[in-house]
Chain A
Amino acid sequence: MTSAPAVEAVELRKSYGTAVVLDGLTLRVARGSVRALLGPNGAGKTTTVRILTTLTAPDGGAARIDGYDVVRERRQVRSRISLAGQYAAVDEEQTGVENLRMMGRLAGLGRADARRRAADLLDRFDLGAAGGRRVAGYSGGMRRRLDLAASLVGEPSVIFLDEPTTGLDPRSRQALWTVIADLARGGTTVLLTTQYLEEADQLADTVSVLDGGRLVAEGSPAELKERFGAQRLDLRLRDHASLVEARARLGTRVVHHDPGRLEVGVATDGSAPHIRDLLDEVDPARRTVVRFTVRGATLDDVFLALTGHPAAPAATRPEVTNV
């Protein structure tokens, strides 16, 4: 079994009615690594996780966890995985301890083992003091930590985290990142989905960028940034007319656009000749560009370069996606 990757998905397909959610997705996640599935809402991230965690059957393709098929060997798969969902799936009217003990018993632990495990996990997730209180009184961050603890009760070898920090404030998010990073250091394979580029950047060894149910890029955060422009040249224009003109000149090379600040960004290798060329191209008469900044590319730029739309939450995403 040691040779099998922790997660292996080949040509996964899934449609709901006429809506194609997964369109031939192939993934391989090495044992002990942290993989981020990055993509906007509707990219197929949650469906991928549901298939890999045996909750949904694929229409086509195959997936294996530790070498076990998620459809035919569901039981073996289920004994190796755990899932922490988009919402904390813990009971509000039970205490932290009760929730964890229950999960322990369901995972096949004896009464005493379940009790011990619950106490260990509460301590480890900094919930020791709150363990005896009902979850209804927990903060959002505490709930997510409890949810994560609950998913570890059965000592899974692969853990799936579906948007683990969505809706959390920055401090709780940071705290949860620490916990997830520790988990990975402990040897557990982690597959997480996220819309936050920073999250992928912080946690993942490898990022798989999904769009429209397909894999559009894969690599370490550094590799991806490197490949899709190591640097970004941001130009501040004199007025709106100049901004429109600059965008027209750069066309599809625009990777950043902020009309409020009269800014437009374009990928560059950061070398003086290239930057000089770009400046000359955008502003041949040397009148419209007032300032420029060269900065390291973010995964946001990568995402935009790959898919033609930013990886922001749906509310701020443009209606039409032109890839």
Chain B
Amino acid sequence: MSELVAKGPTAWSARNGGPTGPDGTARGVPSGPARGGSAAVRALVLVARCVRLSRRNADALLMSLLLPVMLMLIFVYLFGGAIDTGTRYVTYVAPGVLILCAGFGAAGTAVSVTTDLANGVIDRFRTLDVGPVAILGGHVVASIVRNSVSTVLVLAVAVGIGFRPAVEPLRWLAAAGLLLLFLLAISWLSATFGLLTRTPEAAGGFTFVVMFLPYPSSAFVPVETMPTWLHGFAEHQPVTPVIESLRALLLGTPPGSAPLQAVAWCLALLALAVTASAVLFPRRVR
């Protein structure tokens, strides 16, 4: 078969008038600047991409804004009258809805990652020598940006219907920091989940896990009002200390050990997510 192997470049150039590019420079032999901007530039480019894509995904954006607001209104006006938490219900429930909203939005990262894997975008980025940290990081950072915006909106609605946080800038800053850390952990966990699923629809399932967690927590009703067998889970699941800390920081009550537990949970989840994604990414893209 060897006698039939490819014609040499000479034969080829004769037929096609020589291997020159459209600008007349010699092509074929790689020339010009080596490819590859700095990793930071690439990461920023990908963050910008993901932010732009989520801004333009009107359905998902509307959903991640509307749903938490609706939930807030439902809990405050429909259920709130029947729930006795010792304060006005909106005061009790607002921090919980903030977390629900953050978790819901962040869980959407799984869908974005799976979509990129399924339609070859990640393969293309890889042939451009873009690494997994920039690829996943783009989605994670965009998720944090997106959900910070929706959190502010939900907070504004809460204030509009009577939520009155204590005015203590330092505590607000701490609350914002904790919320960002929570968003980071859930977004990365979600991105990792996106590496496991084959279709965007399946990836959407992660949203339900994250949406469910605030219910058996102190988000909507105090844990003491739940059946005893549920206390163990409700008190020791990650969402409870995050909500308790947020509540204490926003309302100016003593937070106790909740912030420490919350930070520990978030860091642990983040470490799990980063490790798992580092293991899963190379396997998934094989």
- Choose among A50, A79, A98 the residue that contacts B52 (Cβ–Cβ < 8 A): A98
A186 touches B126 (CB 8 A): no
Flag B126-143 by CB within 8 Å of A: 1 or 0 each.
Answer: 111110000000000000
CA distance A28 to B48 in the complex (A): 40
A75 to chain B, nearest CB (A): 6
Q: Does A279 contact B (CB under 8 A)?
A: no
- Chain A positions 202-232 with a Cβ under 8 Å from a chain B Cβ: 205-206, 215, 217-220, 223-224, 227
Q: Chain A residues near B48 (CB, 8 Å)?
A: 102
B119 touches A89 (CB 8 A): yes
CA distance A56 to B22 in the complex (A): 32
Q: Does B30 contact A (CB under 8 A)?
A: yes
Q: Which of A82, A87, A108 has the most CB of B within 10 A?
A: A108
A75 touches B22 (CB 8 A): no
Q: Chain B residues near A6 (CB, 8 Å)?
A: 28
A215: nearest residue on chain B (CB-CB)? Answer: B1
B234 to chain A, nearest CB (A): 40
Q: Chain B residues near A55 (CB, 8 Å)?
A: 123, 126-127, 285
Q: Does A195 contact B (CB under 8 A)?
A: no
- Choose among B20, B52, B128 the residue that contacts A187 (Cβ–Cβ < 8 A): B20
Q: Does B4 contact A (CB under 8 A)?
A: yes
Q: Chain A residues near B12 (CB, 8 Å)?
A: 30, 32-33, 205
Q: Does B16 contact A (CB under 8 A)?
A: yes
B6 touches A32 (CB 8 A): no
Flag B264-286 by CB within 8 Å of A: 1 or 0 each.
Answer: 00000000000000000000011
CA distance A81 to B128 in the complex (A): 8
- Contacts A91-B53, A102-B49, A219-B4 known; A157 to B127 CB distance under 8 Å? no
Total cross-chain contacts (CB, 8 A): 158
- Contacts A66-B30, A93-B57 known; A106 to B1 CB distance under 8 Å? no
Q: Which of B18, B21, B49, B127 has the most CB of A within 10 A?
A: B127
CA distance A124 to B23 in the complex (A): 13
Q: Which of B7, B49, B128 has the most CB of A within 10 A?
A: B128
B134: nearest residue on chain A (CB-CB)? Answer: A106
- Chain B positions 1-27 with a Cβ under 8 Å from a chain A Cβ: 1, 4-9, 12-13, 16-22, 26-27
A82 touches B127 (CB 8 A): yes
A189 to chain B, nearest CB (A): 7
- Choose among B6, B34, B49, B130 the residue that contacts A33 (Cβ–Cβ < 8 A): B6
- Choose among B30, B45, B56 the residue that contacts A106 (Cβ–Cβ < 8 A): B45
Q: Which of B21, B35, B56, B119 has the most CB of A within 10 A?
A: B35
B19 touches A108 (CB 8 A): no
B114 to chain A, nearest CB (A): 14
Q: Does B236 contact A (CB under 8 A)?
A: no
B4 touches A32 (CB 8 A): no
- Contacts A32-B19, A89-B121, A94-B52 known; A154 to B128 CB distance under 8 Å? yes
A218 touches B129 (CB 8 A): no
Flag A100-142 by CB within 8 Å of B: 1 or 0 each.
Answer: 0011011111000000000000001000000000100000000
- Choose among A75, A103, A220 the residue that contacts B129 (Cβ–Cβ < 8 A): A75
- Choose among A85, A151, A157 the residue that contacts B27 (Cβ–Cβ < 8 A): A157
Q: Chain A residues near B7 (CB, 8 Å)?
A: 30, 33, 205-206, 220
B69 to chain A, nearest CB (A): 24
Binding site for B on A (CB under 8 A): 1-2, 6, 28-33, 35, 50, 53-57, 66, 74-75, 78-83, 85-87, 89-91, 93-94, 98, 102-103, 105-109, 124, 134, 150-151, 154-155, 157, 184-189, 205-206, 215, 217-220, 223-224, 227
Task: Knowing that A33-B9, A106-B37 touch, tell me 17 more A-B residue pairs with CB under 8 angstroms.
Answer: A31-B9, A32-B16, A32-B28, A54-B126, A55-B123, A78-B129, A102-B48, A105-B41, A134-B56, A151-B124, A157-B28, A187-B19, A189-B28, A205-B7, A206-B7, A215-B1, A218-B5
Q: List 7 A-B contacts (CB under 8 A).
A: A53-B127, A79-B129, A106-B46, A108-B36, A151-B124, A154-B35, A185-B17
Closest 4 CB pairs of A and B: A219-B4, A187-B19, A187-B27, A89-B120
